[in-house]
Chain A
Amino acid sequence: MLTNQIGYYSIILGLIFSVLIFITSLKDLKNIKILNKKIFFLSFFQFFFVLLSFIALIFLFISSDFGNEIVFSNSHSTKPIFYKIAGAWGNHEGSLLLWLLVLTLFIFLFLLNSKNQPIKYRILTLVYQQIIIIGFFLFILLTSSPFNYLYPIPTEGLGLNPILQDPALAIHPPILYLGYVGSSIVFSASLAATTQNYISKAWAKNIKIWILISWIFLTIGILVGSIWAYYELGWGGFWFWDPVENVSLMPWLCLTALLHCVLVLEKKSLLSSWIIILSISTFILSVSGTFLVRSGVLNSVHTFANDPSRGIFILVFLFILILFSLIIFFFFKKENKDEKIKIFWLSKDTFILINNWFMMYFLSVVLIGTIYPIFLEVLSNDKISIGPPFYHKLIIPVLIPFLILMSFSQSLSWFKSKIDKINVKLILVFIISIILSFSIAKIAGSKNLYNSILVSASLYLFLVSIKDFFNRYKSYAQSISHFGFSLLILSILLNGILSTEVTANLKVGEKFIYKEGSIEFSSIKSYQKNNFKSIVGLFKIEDKKKNYVELEPELRIYNQPITITSEADIKTTIYSDKFLVMNKVKGDDYFNVRYQVKPFMIWIWISTFLLAFGGSLSLFRRINEK
C-alpha cells in the first residue's frame, strides 16, 4: 500500500519537475549561467523520482503485492524471482514507466555529455525533450497508471503468460526501449539545432554518439527479439514479417540511413535538411510503432491488451509531435549555401546517398506493407493480409544491386576516387564468388537461378569485406560492422536456401524413415516443476552419413494461467542447427514431430552481434576522443 503511494506520487513529482524545467527555462533565459546549473539539478531530480517510482514497482512485483492491479494481473507467487522482476516491464503500464525512466535518464546523460556544446542548444534540446516526457507522464497518469490498487486484496495473482517467461524476452523490451528513446534525443537535439541554426560539423560530432547509442541498442533489441522467436515460439523461424517485428525494423532502417548520412555532414557539412528529416522520422517511427502495437489496430501473433482510449492518446500525441516538428523545420531551417554543391559521383558521398536510397526503399516497403491493410480496411472495408511473400518479392530482387553497390563503396575514399582503383583483384574475387555460389547451389540440389545470383552477390560483398578488413587500419569499427552485415545477409540467404525439414506423426517406440535419414521416438517422461508440468520426449535421429543426435523437445503445461507451450530442442554447431519440436495430436497417443536442419543459424546471431559490436567500437572511440 505504502509502496504503491510512493510510486504514484513519485510520478506526479516527476511531472511537476517537467513543468518546473519549462518555467525556469523561459524565465531565466537571459541569465544563462544560472539557468545551466538549475536545469542540471532539475533534470537530475526528475530522473531520480521516475527511478524511485520504477523501483517501487519492481518492489511490488518482488513482494507479490496483489493489492496492485498490474501485479495481480501479471504475476503469481510461484513465479521465479527473475520473472517477477521482469514482470514489472512485461506489461503495458510497467513498460511505459520504463520508457519514461529511460527518457529522463538519457536527457540527463545528454546534459552531462554535451558540456562543450552551445548552452542555448542544450537547453532547447532539454525543453523539446520535456514535451515528449510530459506526453508520457500524462499518458501514464491518465490512461495507464501502474499503481492502481485493488480492494479487497486478492490472495493470488493471475500469472504471466508463459510464452513471455523467457530470459531473452525479459531483456528484450528494455534494450529495445533504450534504442527507441535514444532516438528521442536525436529528435529533440536536431530540432533544437534547427531552431538555433546549429546544424554543423560540431553538431554532427555530438549527435553521432546518440545516433550510435540508439542504433546499437535497436540492433541488439531486434537480435534478442529474433532469438526469442527462434527459441521460444518453436516454429524454427526467426523473422516472420509480423507487424510487431516490422515496427521495430522501421526505426532501425531509418537510423542506419542517418548513421551513414551524418558522416557526410561531419566531413563536409552537406545534406543538413535530409539529416533533420531522418532524425525526426526515426523518432516518429518509434512512437508510431508504440501506437500500432499498443492500440491493437494490428493483427499480430504478439497479443497485447488493448484499450482504445490509449490508442487515441498516443495518436493525438503523435500528431502533435509531427505538426510541431514540421513547423520547426519549415520556419527555422535556413538554406545552406553549401547544399547546392554537387557531389562527385565516384566518391564515398555518392555511395552513402545510395545507401540512404536503398534504406529508404526498404523502409517504404516495410512501412507500406504494415499499414496498408489498415488504410484499406478503413477506406473500403476490405481485409487483406500482407505477409512474407510480399516483402520477399519487393526486397530480395533489390538486394542484388544493393549488395554489389555496397561492395564497390568499400574501396572508395572521401572526395574523389579514380576508376582504375577498382582493380583486377576485385574482379578475381567476383569470379570466385560466382563459382562458389554455384557450387553451393549444385550441392543443395540447385533450386533456381535467382538464388544463385543472390548468393553470388552476397558472397562477393562478404569476400570484399574480408579483404577490406586486412587492408585498412583506420577504422576497425566500420570494417567490423560491414563485415558483420555481409555475413548476416550471407547466412540468412544460405539458411533460407539450404534449410530442410521433415514432419511426421509418431508415437513412442515408432521410427520414421525418410530420404535423408531416420527419426526414432524412443521414450517419454514427465516431470512436475514449480509452476508447470513438463513432458519430455527423447528422439534419436540419424542421417545418411550416420551422424547421430539425440534431441529432447518438451511440452510445458503451465498452471497459471493454464497454457500449453512447446519448447523446441535445438542442437547448435557452427555449421548448422538441428531443431526438433513436438506437439500433441488431439485425442491420440500420437505426437506431431517437426525436424529441421538449419545451416548457419548461429552465424545469423554472431553476425548481428558483430554489427552492433562494430557500432560500439565506434561509439567508444568517439567518447574517448573528447
Chain B
Amino acid sequence: MKNKFILPSLIIFFTFCFIIFYNSLENSNSYIPKDDFDTKLPIFNSKDFFSKKEISSQDLFVDNDYYILNIWASWCAPCRKEHPELMKLSKNSSIKIIGINYKDNLKNAKKFLNDLGNPYSTILIDDDGTISIELGAYGVPETFIINKQNKIIQKFRGALNTESIEKINLILK
C-alpha cells in the first residue's frame, strides 16, 4: 500500500502550498475593484443643487468632448484637498466638470463652495448615495473622465494628485 510515489507527491504538494502561502503574504488583503473602462455611463436622474429642478444625465452629457464627473462632500477631508486642482481644471473651457454632492448637508455644502470656489458647471444631489452606487463608486471623492460617446474612460479613487492631473491633461489633449 505504501507506494513509492505517495511520499514524494505529498512533499511536492505541500511545497506547492508553501509557495502559494509565501506569495500570498505579499498580497494586500484590502480590496480595490478592478477598473473596468469603456463602460457606458449609466442613466440617472437627480435634482440640481441650486435650482432643485429634476435633471436627467441624458440631457447633461451631450455636446462636450470630455466631461469630468466628481463625487464630493463638504464633510470629506480629501475633497477639500483636491479642490484647488478642480478649480484649475475648471479654467479650461473645453471641459465641463459635473459635481455629485454625496450625502451632504446643503448648508455646509454651500459654505464649502463659497469658501473654496465652485469649479462645477452643474451639481447634482445624491443625498442617499444611490447614484454613486450606480456609478460604481464606493467612497468620496471619486473622479471619472467621460468622453463624447458617454463612456467612462478613466477613474480616480481618492483625492486627485499631480499624477492624476497629468493623466487628465494627457487625455484632454
Contacts and interface: CB of A to CB of B under 8 A. Distances in A.
Query: In the complex they form, do A and B come into direct contact, defined as C-beta atoms under 8 angstroms apart?
Result: yes
Interface of A: 291, 295-299, 308, 311-312, 315, 319, 322-323, 326, 330, 333, 335, 374-375, 377-379, 383, 586-587
Given A335-B1, A377-B27, A326 B10 contact: yes
B11 A323 contact: yes
B105 A587 contact: yes
Q: Which 7 A-B pairs have the closest CB atoms?
A: A378-B23, A297-B24, A311-B25, A374-B24, A330-B7, A299-B29, A319-B18
Contacts, number: 51
A378 B105 contact: no
A322 B6 CA distance: 14
Contacts of A383: 31
A322 B21 CA distance: 15
Contacts of A587: 105
A299 B15 CA distance: 23
B22 interface: yes
B133 interface: no
A602 B102 CA distance: 43
Interface in B25-83: 25-27, 29-31
Given A330-B2, A586-B103, A297 B25 contact: yes
Nearest to A312: B25
A291 B17 CA distance: 13
B20 interface: yes
A378 B18 contact: no
A326 B29 contact: no
14 contacts: A297-B21, A297-B24, A297-B27, A298-B29, A299-B30, A308-B25, A311-B25, A315-B18, A323-B11, A326-B11, A326-B14, A330-B6, A330-B7, A374-B24
B26 A308 contact: yes
B interface: dominant SS: helix
A343 to B, nearest CB: 17
A232 B160 CA distance: 39
Contacts of A323: 11, 14
Given A295-B25, A311-B25, A315-B25, 9 more contacts: A315-B18, A319-B15, A323-B11, A333-B2, A374-B21, A377-B27, A383-B31, A586-B103, A587-B105
Contacts of B22: 312, 315
B155 to A, nearest CB: 18
A378 B20 contact: yes
A13 B24 CA distance: 35
Contact of B14 (A311, A319, A330): A319
Contacts of A330: 2, 6-7
Interface string B115-148: 0000000000000000000000000000000000
Most chain A CB within a 10 A radius of its CB, from B1, B23, B24, B30: B24
A383 B29 CA distance: 10
A291 B31 contact: no
B139 to A, nearest CB: 14
A370 B136 CA distance: 27
A332 B48 CA distance: 79
Given A296-B29, A297-B29, A586-B103, A377 B24 contact: yes
Contacts of B24: 297, 374, 377-378
A89 to B, nearest CB: 24
A330 B10 CA distance: 11
